[in-house]
């Protein structure tokens, strides 16, 4: 990470928006952005009240904002429905026959021909959503319940989310890469009684055994009464042990096609209170237990609607593609809710970027004439390494705008994206935000903001971002500090599910009165924000957030392990990698076999995304006098750096201190 930061500090290149892009953009002048931004900060109720008029309401709000640190209520007293806004409203606006979801499956129909394609119009999507919504009601799902969704990247994943939203049940989507233990933990925490899943999902040429993982998870919790199973891979029902088969539990399991088969396509959308929960989504934090980030209805809808419209400069004839998985916040906000609330044609791809080879994304862009493309730096780095001959085999001239999200983008990757993919004509929006923020927070506006490789540039409307020290004092240009948000914004998280105290403590206590992001950053002389990475015990592996404590908990649950300390280390492709220092129970042998065993164990406990890159056996872990593990030291060791600095102090905010040292040096 330090290398990335070092090179971004020296970045001098500036890329103004192309004039023809700016001329056609929703917002095309700096003066317009500044005027709107000022209004959004000085008069948020006026600004957001006006934007909210663009959405559908069953009942208008009484008050735009009710704010008392740390509890925000937006559009108090209003009644709306997110699925109604994403479907019925679009149909009312004349978009009924427009393609809403343009889906491509992973397995190719013939070499080089791409996968199966499905085009679902807004009208069809409303029918599909309504049928499933009625189906869910028929198995007892009610307004206010939570439903787990553990699905491959197929249109039915979006249908399931929207069906929950339509009847007022909150969804809890779990990324298909998570293990059965992670499913069980999340089902229990959110108290879900229904799971929607599939027999399997295609990924990199193999079948991910989703149903089997769910069955496994349900041996660890008895909360779930119904499992709805989509037939994606035609896996035969058998004992579930035979390769490629699934097991079936009569009375509990129901086929998706049977559930929707007999249902009516008419399901009125439930008028929801602005502050009713839309979904819970788990993410990692500084402690061992993942947090159920809770988002509500109206503010989240407004935030994703507004950012999609302006950040991606969404136009009626765009074909927009966000390559995230719906299991992450990016998929929630920028595959499902934001694009559909804008009536966009949204591409969804089932599989891996490198299947059958590194040309897959580029062939999809060519085949479907994608105009706006949103992906992650880790993917761009992988494509860079694979070579530009892959994109060069394809016609990418339909592209007009590119975006990135998930981690700091190193300038080399930014430049490659700009030249090889964007052919120097597409603005790049480097968007900074979080699961907690619900929507994009710091970003260029593509028709307005001159971009520099490696910075997310300026705050979006309503976002009062600042760099401060721990007392809340704002720091000057180029001083590294804590990234905070000083005012509430519509799509902010409202709580951690069932744990309002943890919510207040985690986000609002480090810098009293301000929302603390967990990120370190600095502003340059133009006021641009440069994100330096996490300053807490969270690491960012390929754009996926993992808590070091979460991985440590998994390791110490292994019978051979006495103690474990996990740190993030710089990784060329993944941004950060995972190094685990492990001390063993007496009598256990520190050998290669055990290393392999521990790696497999962590994958089983959390999922493949948490696979340690290094396991290092050690006789003891360096600790402070008060018993805290000195991760900073371990980080240096694992990264192969010389160990410097005071070894008797607590780690605490030393990440920042170190960055400063480097900066000055
Ligand atoms: C990091 C993903 C630099 C950051 C939407 C943040 C970024 C965490 C960027 C949130 C960016 C996200 N530049 N860093 N453009 N976008 N991050 O919750 O550390 O999965 O706190 O949300 O990713 O990750 P999350």
3-state secondary structure 438-454: CCCCECCCCCCCCECCC
Contact 431, 311 (CB under 8 A): yes
Span from the CA of 431 to the centroid of ligand 1 (angstroms)? 8
CA dist., res. 376 & res. 314, Å (int):
20
How much is the pLDDT for 470? 93
Q: What is the DSSP letter of 332?
A: I
Residue entry with tokens 């008797």: 648
Distances (CA, A) of 39 to 44, 70, 109: 7, 23, 52
Write out the H or E segment, with its range, that includes residue 392.
helix 389-392
Sequence-distant (6+) residues with CB within 8 A of 295 are: 277, 278, 279, 280, 281, 438, 491, 493, 494
How much is the pLDDT for 662? 34
Q: Which neighbouring-strand residues pair with 346?
A: 101, 320
Q: Is the pLDDT of residue 35 over 90?
A: yes
How much is the pLDDT for 135? 98
Tens-place pLDDT, residues 189-244: 999 999 999 999 999 999 999 999 999 999 999 999 999 999 999 999 998 778 89
Tens-place pLDDT, residues 560-573: 998 899 999 999 99
CA dist., res. 439 & res. 435, Å (int):
8
How much is the pLDDT for 463? 98
Span from the CA of 406 to the centroid of ligand 1 (angstroms)? 4
Decide whether any atom of ligand 1 lies within 6 Å of the 517 Cβ. Answer: yes
CA dist., res. 122 & res. 90, Å (int):
7
Residue entry with tokens 């890329």: 15
Specify the pairing of strand 201-203 against strand 206-208. Answer: antiparallel
Tokens of 217: 């998870």
3-class state of residue 94 by DSSP: helix
Sequence-distant (6+) residues with CB within 8 A of 69 are: 508, 513
Residue nearest to atom 1 of ligand 1 (CA): 407
Contact 75, 494 (CB under 8 A): no
**Which residue, among 653, 665, 632, 663, has the nearest Cα to 479 in the 3D structure?**
663
Contact 632, 659 (CB under 8 A): no
Sequence-distant (6+) residues with CB within 8 A of 496 are: 291, 292, 293, 294, 502, 503, 506
Decide whether any atom of ligand 1 lies within 6 Å of the 283 Cβ. Answer: yes
Span from the CA of 521 to the centroid of ligand 1 (angstroms)? 12
CA dist., res. 446 & res. 449, Å (int):
6
How much is the pLDDT for 661? 39
Query: Mind listing the domains of the chain with CATH numbers?
Result: 538-664 (3.30.300.30)
Residue nearest to atom 11 of ligand 1 (CA): 432
Write the DSSP assignment of 294-331 as a string of letters: EEESHHHHHHHHHHHHHHTT--TT-EEEE-S-TTSHHH
Tokens of 161: 């989310």
Tens-place pLDDT, residues 345-355: 999 999 999 99
Residue entry with tokens 């004509």: 425
Which contacts of 241-249 are long-range, i.e. CB under 8 A and separated by 24 or more positions?
244/207, 246/199, 246/200, 246/209, 246/211, 246/212, 246/215, 247/211, 247/212, 247/215, 249/215
Question: Is the ipTM reported for this complex over the cut 0.85?
Answer: yes
Chain mean pLDDT for the chain: 92
Q: Is the pLDDT of residue 582 over 60?
A: yes
Q: Is the pLDDT of residue 4 over 60?
A: no
Contact 578, 10 (CB under 8 A): no
Can you tell me which atom of ligand 1 is nearest the CA of 430? 15
Annotated binding site: 203-206, 330, 354, 406-408, 430-435, 519, 534, 542, 545, 556, 558, 561, 603
Can you tell me which atom of ligand 1 is nearest the CA of 545? 20
Average the pLDDT over 135-155 and give the result.
Answer: 98
Q: Is the pLDDT of residue 660 over 50?
A: no
CA dist., res. 533 & res. 530, Å (int):
9
Tens-place pLDDT, residues 632-653: 778 877 887 765 554 443 333 3
Write the DSSP assignment of 411-432 as a string of letters: HHHHHHIIIIITTTTS-EEEEB
Instruction: Estimate to the nearest angstrom the gap between the alpha carbon of 371 and the chain centroid.
Output: 22
Stated pTM of the model: 0.92
Average the pLDDT over 452-469 and give the result.
Answer: 97
Q: Is the pLDDT of residue 659 over 90?
A: no
Can you tell me which atom of ligand 1 is nearest the CA of 442? 15
Angle between helices 180-190 and 592-605 (to 10 degrees): 30
CA dist., res. 149 & res. 127, Å (int):
20
Q: What is the DSSP letter of 9?
A: H
What percentage of the chain reaches a pLDDT higher than 70? 94
Burial of 633 per CB tally in 10 Å (0-12, 13-18, 19+): buried
Burial of 104 per CB tally in 10 Å (0-12, 13-18, 19+): buried
Q: Which neighbouring-strand residues pair with 121?
A: 99
Can you tell me which atom of ligand 1 is nearest the CA of 328? 20
Length, in residues, of the chain: 665
Decide whether any atom of ligand 1 lies within 6 Å of the 307 Cβ. Answer: no
Contact 582, 563 (CB under 8 A): yes
Q: Is the pLDDT of residue 6 over 60?
A: no
Angle between helices 2-9 and 654-664 (to 10 degrees): 50
Can you tell me which atom of ligand 1 is nearest the CA of 330? 5
Give the largest Cα separation in the chain, rounded. Answer: 72
Tokens of 563: 């103690």
Span from the CA of 527 to the centroid of ligand 1 (angstroms)? 19
Q: Is the pLDDT of residue 3 over 70?
A: no
Residue nearest to atom 13 of ligand 1 (CA): 408
Contact 196, 141 (CB under 8 A): no
Annotated binding site for ATP: 406-408, 430-435, 519, 534, 545
Angle between helices 592-605 and 548-556 (to 10 degrees): 120
How much is the pLDDT for 9? 52
Residue nearest to atom 3 of ligand 1 (CA): 408
Query: Starting at the edge strand that comes first in sequence, how are the strands of the sheet with 277-283 ordered?
Result: 253-255, 226-230, 194-198, 146-150, 170-173, 277-283, 291-296, 495-496
Decide whether any atom of ligand 1 lies within 6 Å of the 406 Cβ. Answer: yes
Q: What is the rounded end-to-end Cα distance, in angstroms, of the chain?
A: 16
3-class state of residue 243 by DSSP: coil
Pocket test for ligand 1, best of 178, 323, 432, 443 (most atoms within 8 A of CB): 432
What percentage of the chain reaches a pLDDT higher than 90? 87
**Which residue, among 414, 416, 419, has the nearest Cα to 430 in the 3D structure?**
414
Span from the CA of 118 to the centroid of ligand 1 (angstroms)? 31
């Amino acid at each position: 990470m330090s290398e990335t930061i070092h090179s971004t500090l020296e970045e001098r290149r500036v890329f103004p928006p192309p004039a023809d892009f700016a001329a056609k953009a929703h917002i095309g002048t700096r003066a317009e952005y500044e005027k709107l931004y000022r209004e959004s900060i000085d008069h948020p109720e006026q600004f957001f009240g006006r934007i909210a008029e663009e959405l559908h309401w069953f009942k208008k709000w009484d008050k735009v904002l009710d704010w008392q640190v740390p509890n925000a209520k937006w559009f108090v007293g209003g009644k709306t429905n997110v699925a109604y806004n994403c479907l019925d409203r679009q149909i009312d606006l004349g978009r009924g026959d427009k393609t809403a979801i343009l889906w491509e499956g992973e397995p190719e129909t013939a070499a080089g021909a791409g996968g199966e394609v499905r085009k679902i119009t807004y009208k069809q999507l409303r029918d599909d959503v309504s049928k499933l919504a009625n189906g869910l009601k028929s198995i007892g799902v009610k307004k206010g319940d939570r439903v787990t969704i553990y699905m491959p990247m197929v249109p039915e994943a979006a249908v399931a989310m929207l069906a929950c939203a339509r009847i007022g049940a909150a969804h809890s989507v779990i990324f298909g890469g998570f293990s059965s233990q992670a499913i069980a933990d999340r089902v229990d925490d959110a108290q879900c009684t229904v799971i929607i899943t599939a027999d399997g999902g295609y990924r990199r040429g193999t079948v991910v055994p989703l149903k089997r993982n769910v069955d496994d998870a349900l041996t660890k919790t008895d909360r779930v009464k119904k499992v709805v199973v989509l037939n994606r891979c035609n896996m035969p029902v058998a004992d579930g042990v035979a390769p490629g088969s699934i097991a079936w539990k009569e009375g509990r399991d129901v086929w998706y096609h049977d559930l929707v088969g007999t249902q009516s396509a008419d399901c009125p959308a439930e008028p929801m209170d602005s502050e009713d929960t839309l979904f819970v989504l788990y993410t990692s934090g500084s402690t061992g237990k993942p947090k159920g980030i809770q988002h509500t209805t109206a503010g989240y809808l407004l935030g994703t609607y507004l950012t999609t419209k302006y950040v991606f400069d969404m136009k009626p004839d765009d074909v927009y593609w966000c390559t995230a998985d719906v299991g992450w916040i990016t998929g929630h906000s920028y595959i499902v809710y934001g694009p559909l609330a804008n009536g966009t044609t949204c591409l969804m791809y089932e599989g891996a970027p490198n299947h059958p080879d590194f040309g897959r994304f580029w062939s999809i862009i060519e085949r479907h004439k994608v105009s706006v493309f949103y992906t992650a730096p880790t993917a761009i780095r992988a494509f860079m390494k694979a070579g530009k001959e892959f994109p060069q085999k394809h016609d990418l001239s339909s592209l007009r705008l590119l975006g990135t999200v998930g981690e700091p983008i190193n300038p080399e990757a930014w430049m490659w994206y700009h030249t090889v993919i964007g052919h120097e004509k597409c603005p790049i929006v480097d968007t900074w935000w979080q699961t907690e923020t619900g929507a994009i927070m710091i970003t260029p506006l593509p028709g307005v903001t001159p971009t520099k490789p490696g910075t997310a540039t300026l705050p979006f409307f309503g976002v009062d971002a600042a760099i401060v020290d721990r007392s809340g004092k704002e720091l000057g240009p180029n001083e590294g500090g804590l990234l905070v948000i000083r005012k509430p914004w519509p799509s902010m998280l409202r709580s951690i599910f069932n744990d309002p105290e943890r919510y207040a403590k985690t986000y609002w206590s480090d810098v009293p009165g301000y929302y603390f992001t967990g990120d370190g950053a600095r502003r340059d002389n133009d006021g641009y924000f440069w994100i330096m990475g996490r300053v807490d015990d969270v690491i960012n592996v390929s754009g996926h957030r993992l808590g070091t404590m979460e991985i440590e908990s998994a390791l110490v649950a292994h019978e051979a392990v006495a103690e474990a300390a996990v740190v993030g280390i710089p990784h060329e492709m993944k941004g950060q990698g995972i190094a685990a220092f492990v001390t063993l129970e007496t009598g256990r042998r520190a050998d290669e076999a055990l290393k392999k065993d521990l790696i497999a164990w962590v994958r089983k406990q959390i999922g493949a995304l948490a696979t340690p890159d290094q396991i290092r056996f050690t006789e003891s872990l360096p600790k402070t006098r008060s018993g805290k593990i000195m991760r900073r030291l371990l980080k240096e060791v694992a990264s192969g750096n010389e160990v410097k600095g005071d070894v008797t102090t607590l780690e605490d905010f030393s990440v920042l201190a170190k960055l400063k040292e480097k900066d000055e040096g």
